[in-house]
Every structure is written in structure tokens, then in C-alpha cells.
Structure 1
Amino acid sequence: MITYSVAQVEAITGISAHSLRVWERRFDFVEPFRTATNIRYYSDEQLKKLINVGVLLRNKFKISKVVAMKDAEIHEHVSDILLQPQADIQEDISALTLCMIDMDEQKFSELYNAHLTRKGLLNTFVSLIYPFLNHVGVLWGTNKAMPAQEHFISSLIRQKLIAATDALPQPASDAPSLLLYLLDGEDHEIGLLLANYIAKEIGWRTYYLGQNVPSENIKLVTEQLKPNFMFSMMVSPRNSKFEKTLKVLLDDVGIKLLYSGNTHLLDPEQFKDQAIYLNSPGAFINYLKENS
């Protein structure tokens, strides 16, 4: 049985730890398991039920009414909400979270394709997939999801991103260019794949190097390709040696680095003329369009 801490349940469901404790005392609603040292934890089934409860509460149901429902009734109400064409994005995220927990590829594809039909590829990735990955911690390594489930959903989304990118037309030969890579020690590739798709969709030429690229290789590639900008994701904790290595690289190549991820990993003053932090896909899109 995969288990979840109170902090994970709070982050994934949006239900506060305080509410969980109150419900435990008042309603005997979802009785958590406890370790030998009396630490609360929850099962897959409990987490799924709490995700559904969160959907109902956000849609004006009272907790006193929800606790009186049978599981089948809860599921029926939630299904009705999720099937509404104008369902809130938070409910789409809840639905995708359930797909991740159940490792349900068919349901994931149904939700993805429905959003694709309504909003198109770029909006699907920017307004649904990115917020979902951010919500469950896959992008930033915050351990909200369990590793097996994270690998499952990451693999599905990776497939979608690669297929979508391959289907894009080749950019014009005189289009601006972007070199994308993850430095040594970075393994969270989904954000980089999304940036690659966005840049190509806008019409930029991209050079995608992938994960764990040594800085000396980046220097050689920039000398050969001379891209307009570079892009990277920074998630993993770093020490001062990392900043020094990156500073040397940027001094050597003389090309501005666009980056996203954890804001505290670079000193903004030290890199203010060499690196630009972009806090969302929307900021990335705007920057590329402004510099096309």
C-alpha cells in the first residue's frame, strides 16, 4: 500500500491539516492510519476520497452533507462536476491527480484529449499540464507525489510533449534560436520539454541537449551554433561551487541564460546581466515573442 503523510494530503487535496484533524474528531469521516510513533498517514483510497471531497467543497457542498453520502453518491456528484464543459481548472487538476494515483492511462488520455479539443495544444500544456505538475510537485521535486506514480505520469506527459513537438513544422532558417539543456545534477526534464515545445510552436529554432549536460559541452555547442539565448531549469539544491561554475560558463559564452525553477538557486545580483528568471510558461512565451 502506498501511503501519504498529512502534508502530502494537504498539498494534493487542498484540504488543510487543521480541517483533517477537526473532521477526524467530529465526523469519524476518514480515520487515518498511525505509525508506531503515532504519526498520521493515509492510504491511496483515503487520498482519492479526500480529493473528491475537496471537489465537492469547492462546488458549494457542505461538509455536513458530504459526510452523510455513500462513496457511490460522492463519485456521482464529482463526475457530474468534472464533466461540465466549463469546469474549473482546479477540478481538471483533481481529475488528473486521480489518474496519477490510479495509474490510469486511459482516463488520463480522455481528460487530455477533451482539453485538447476545447483549448488546443499550447493552452492544454500551459493552462492544464503545467499547473497540474506544479500542484503534485513533479516539476520542482517537492515529494508531494510518490515516486512510482510520479514516474508514471511524467512518462505519459513526456510522450505527449515529444509527440506534439515532433508534429510542429520546421521553423524558418532565419528564425531566432534557443539552446535548451539541464546542467549536471538536474533530472527534472518535463519543464525543459515544455519549454522546447513552446519555443518551437512560437517559431523559434531549438537545440535540445537534454539532462545532465557538462558545462564544457555547452561551451562547445554555443561556439558551433551561436544561439540567441539559452534556457535551463534549476530545481536541485546547489552549493556555491555551482554558482561559480555557471558564472564562468556564462562569462565564456556571452549568451544570456533564461531559466525557471527554484528562485533561490541563483543570486540575482551576481547574474543580473547574464540570466533572466521566468516564473511561468506565460512569462517564457512573452519573452520569446518580444525577442523574436
Structure 2
Amino acid sequence: MEAFTIKDLENLSGIKAHTIRIWEQRYSLLKPSRTDTNIRYYSNDELKKVLNISILNRYGYKISEINRMSLDEMNEKIRALADTEARLELTLNKLVAAMIDMDMELFETLIDQYTAQQGIAGAIQMLVFPFLEKIGILWQTNHITPAQEHMVSNIIRQKLIAGIDRSPKPQTKHKTIILFLPPDQYHELGLLFMQFLLKQEGHEVLYLGCDTPVKELEYVARLKKPDFIYCHLTSVAQNFQLGKWLTQLGQQLANFPVVFSGPALNAWRNKLPAQMQLKSSFQEVIEAFK
């Protein structure tokens, strides 16, 4: 993708769009292009520069100082940062840049290096999931190409499955939980991440995965009698009738507690059936299963 909006820059860098506009007016750091209708858009290089600026600014450098730095000086100052959070943020930004450049070898190397330092659990919780949160808005707005999304998703999926496979088998099972995605829905990274977390907590996980018809979900639920059923919706297809699906789910799974999370449901304002709960974070989901 070669055209990012100012909102994309805000979501990825944490710098408010209003502040970015002021910097453009006062300094020479950013020079966005404009569409025929005079709307700003930013290149890959502009985005990467904003990510670097955000780190330096957050860790003590004034924007007037940064404005006088060359790109090499910026990179040198960033590499010199000793703060642990700064180093993590730098790695996250490198992952974003590698995704944008479609440098999948670098992308995987960054994850592997962090895994070597922090272990698979640390890499998934501290690096992979924050990365997914960071770039999730681009997936929802189609501001990265399907090729970028697929390659990044496949690498992360492999790492998540490796972490799941390495999870110790619990001596005693706490709860039995079914994980699934609705029909024609295939964004499963959030669901895989929750499978990893639940196995770390000692729960038995029945992973149905993507594209699960309600009828099949009901069959497994009646057979296995889970303590909970869980779904994480990152996004839904345009023709997916969310309200109708929730109603059907509520009717056919009336005797089972169902927990939801994910960006696709964050804006849901209608009342859910009595046995359903909507959680705003993975941590809230984990708490609900205790």
C-alpha cells in the first residue's frame, strides 16, 4: 500500500491527527501528497518516518530537535534508547515497516529474535498481539493489500500454532471451552491467540475454527456440554447479517453461555440474548472463564 490516511498515521503512531497537521505546517518533517479532492495521503516512507518520530518524541526529544535530524541521526538516536518499552516499541514499528515493504524474511526474523529472548509466551503476548492491535485498523479499512495481510497472517498463524503446541498439558482441566468463527469468516488470529491463552490457563479447548455453521456448533455443544462457547470477531464480510446470526445463535444455544470479543462487535448496541456476554479485551474474556 502506498497511500495511508492521516487517520492511519494516528492509529499506528499514537500521534493525534491534529498534532500531525501542526507539524506539517511548522516543520519540514512530513510532506504528504494530496488527492484531486485535496485529501492528504502519505507514502510508505512517510509512515515509517512518523513511527520513528513518535518514539523519539515519546522518549524526550522535542519535535524541533527531531526536525533538525537526518534519517540516519534519527535511527541512531532510536537505537541508543535503553528503555525496555522503547525497545519493544521500536520492534513493533519494525514489524509494521517490514509488513509494508513485504519483507517477510525480516518480519519473521524479528519475531524469532524476540522469541529467543522472551520465550514463545512472551513473544505472543508482548509482541505479536500488540502488533495485531496496532495494524488491525488497516485490515478493517482495507489500507493494506490482501497480499500483505495474507503473508503476515500466515507467519503469525504459524507462530501461534507453535505456541499452542508447546503449551503444557494441564494436570486437571479447569473449564471446557469451544472456540469458533461464524460461517464465511476467516480472520482467526484473535481466536488462535485466545486458544493459546486458554491452554496456558489450563482449560480444555475445543477449537472448531473458521466457517462454523450454527447447526454444527450446536451439535458439538450438545455432545461435549462445554462450560463456555467463545467467538472473537475481528471483522465480518459486508454481506454478513450480524444481527440475524446473533439471534439464531441465541435460539439454538439457549442453554450455553456464549462470550464474544473483537472489533467487529465493539460498536454493537442492541441487546444480546441473556446467555451472551460481550467483552472488550482478551483479559476480560480470561476473567469471565474463571
Once the two structures are TM-superposed, the CA of residue 146 in structure 1 deviates from its matched residue by 4.4
Secondary structure at 2:280's aligned position in 1? coil
- Residue 139 (structure 2) pairs with residue 121 (structure 1): no
Distance in 2, Cα, partners of 1:277 & 1:43 = 37
Q: Bigger CA drift: 278-287 or 25-34?
A: 278-287
Per the alignment, residue 65 of structure 1 pairs with 65
Higher strand residue share: 1
Per-residue CA deviation, residues 95-127 of structure 1 (Å, 9 max, x unaligned), is 322232223334334433444344433343233
Taking a change above 3 Å as real, the CA distance of residues 174 and 134 of structure 1, as seen in their structure-2 partners, is closer
Taking a change above 3 Å as real, the CA distance of residues 176 and 87 of structure 1, as seen in their structure-2 partners, is same
Per the alignment, residue 19 of structure 2 pairs with 19
Per the alignment, residue 243 of structure 1 pairs with 246
Distance in 2, Cα, partners of 1:114 & 1:64 = 34
Is the 8 Å Cα contact of residues 126 and 282 (structure 1) preserved in structure 2? no
- Counterpart code for 1:34: R
Taking a change above 3 Å as real, the CA distance of residues 270 and 281 of structure 1, as seen in their structure-2 partners, is closer
Once the two structures are TM-superposed, the CA of residue 85 in structure 1 deviates from its matched residue by 4.3
Taking a change above 3 Å as real, the CA distance of residues 266 and 209 of structure 1, as seen in their structure-2 partners, is farther
Per the alignment, residue 194 of structure 2 pairs with 195
Once the two structures are TM-superposed, the CA of residue 145 in structure 1 deviates from its matched residue by 4.4
- Residue 42 (structure 2) pairs with residue 6 (structure 1): no
Query: What is the TM-score when the length of structure 2 is the normalising length?
Result: 0.86
Distance in 2, Cα, partners of 1:33 & 1:132 = 27
Is the 8 Å Cα contact of residues 178 and 229 (structure 2) preserved in structure 1? yes
Per the alignment, residue 97 of structure 2 pairs with 98
Per the alignment, residue 177 of structure 1 pairs with 176
Distance in 1, Cα, partners of 2:279 & 2:24 = 41
- Residue 46 (structure 2) pairs with residue 46 (structure 1): yes
Taking a change above 3 Å as real, the CA distance of residues 283 and 117 of structure 1, as seen in their structure-2 partners, is farther
Is the 8 Å Cα contact of residues 11 and 144 (structure 1) preserved in structure 2? no
- Counterpart code for 2:150: H
Query: What is the TM-score when the length of structure 1 is the normalising length?
Result: 0.85
- Counterpart code for 1:275: M
Q: Bigger CA drift: 38-47 or 183-192?
A: 183-192
Is the 8 Å Cα contact of residues 9 and 15 (structure 1) preserved in structure 2? yes
| Fraction of identical pairs, as percent | 32
Per the alignment, residue 77 of structure 2 pairs with 77
What RMSD in Å do the two structures reach over aligned CA positions? Answer: 2.6
Once the two structures are TM-superposed, the CA of residue 150 in structure 1 deviates from its matched residue by 2.6
Is the 8 Å Cα contact of residues 199 and 206 (structure 1) preserved in structure 2? yes
Secondary structure at 2:41's aligned position in 1? strand
Once the two structures are TM-superposed, the CA of residue 47 in structure 1 deviates from its matched residue by 0.9
Secondary structure at 1:222's aligned position in 2? helix
Once the two structures are TM-superposed, the CA of residue 23 in structure 1 deviates from its matched residue by 2.3
Q: Point out where structure 1 has 5 or more consecutive residues left out of the alignment.
A: none
Secondary structure at 1:122's aligned position in 2? helix
Q: Bigger CA drift: 27-36 or 92-101?
A: 92-101
Per-residue CA deviation, residues 246-290 of structure 1 (Å, 9 max, x unaligned), is 211222xx11112211234374x543x4122332222233333x2
Number of residue equivalences:
284
Is the 8 Å Cα contact of residues 116 and 124 (structure 1) preserved in structure 2? yes
- Counterpart code for 1:58: R
Taking a change above 3 Å as real, the CA distance of residues 16 and 174 of structure 1, as seen in their structure-2 partners, is closer
Once the two structures are TM-superposed, the CA of residue 46 in structure 1 deviates from its matched residue by 1.2
Is the 8 Å Cα contact of residues 188 and 210 (structure 2) preserved in structure 1? yes
Secondary structure at 2:4's aligned position in 1? strand
